A and B are shown apart, each in its own frame.
Chain A
Amino acid sequence: AQTVTQSQPEMSVQEAETVTLSCTYDTSESNYYLFWYKQPPSRQMILVIRQEAYKQQNATENRFSVNFQKAAKSFSLKISDSQLGDTAMYFCAFTPHGGANSKLTFGKGITLSVRP
């Protein structure tokens, strides 16, 4: 079974600074995908970034980047130049590549507050 662990329940960062959100996972799959989702106060889930496990290069989307360490099963999200609009709950998620067990599993989430 797949598990996703986000051990930090809350974090706070000053506007314009950088923050890193941690995530670890456990799986016996060799090919899978990892995601970070954002849930703002509106509660609409939004995809932030996606990483394919077979790609060694870390994914980057504007101010968002990941540090993917496959051997350590670690997948952290770095937010650069934090903005007030980044205040939200962030979820790390995992899905295997395919097959009947292709469910999407989320961590418990972390609440990020960006201070002005």
Chain B
Amino acid sequence: SQTIHQWPATLVQPVGSPLSLECTVEGTSNPNLYWYRQAAGRGLQLLFYSVGIGQISSEVPQNLSASRPQDRQFILSSKKLLLSDSGFYLCAWSVGPFEAFFGQGTRLTVV
């Protein structure tokens, strides 16, 4: 069966520190991978998506970057966090036009 792992679940980081959130998928090959951010009580903002290894599309220019070093691994990074980077980050995967499966999310607080 397919599963998705996203960690950590909660993270508190100081302003100016680096960030690395990791997402891995099991049980499927060549998935589309996504990083979304959700502000409190708000909608999902698509940050990055990837249709293959090394292929990253950025939706919103900002302080974050993404990488896909392996087929089923998607990493969200920042060199220096800003207060505005706080939020709830969701990783998701899909294959073709079928439903997307989401990780449990990471609540990031930048202090």
Contact = CB atoms under 8 A, between A and B. Distances in A.
A associates with B: yes
Interface of A: 6, 32-33, 35, 37, 43-45, 47, 50, 52, 89, 91, 93, 95-98, 100, 102-109, 111
Contacts, number: 62
B32 interface: yes
A47 B41 CA distance: 19
Contact of A98 (B36, B96, B100): B96
Q: Which 5 A-B pairs have CB atoms at the shortest separation, nearest pair first?
A: A108-B43, A45-B102, A109-B43, A106-B44, A33-B97
B24 to A, nearest CB: 17
Contacts of B57: 103
A103 B46 contact: yes
Interface stretch (B64-72, B74-82, B87-95): B87-95
B46 A44 contact: no
Given A44-B104, A103-B34, A103-B46, A98 B92 contact: no
Nearest to B55: A100
A98 B32 CA distance: 11
Interface residues on B, range: 20 to 34
A43 B9 CA distance: 12
A109 B43 CA distance: 5
Interface of B is mostly: strand
A96 B84 CA distance: 31
A100 B102 contact: no
Given A97-B97, A102-B51, A109 B92 contact: no
A103 B57 CA distance: 10
Contacts of B94: 95, 104
B49, B88, B100, B104, most chain A CB atoms within 10 A: B100
Given A102-B32, A103-B49, A108 B42 contact: yes
Contacts of B92: 45, 104
A103 B32 contact: yes
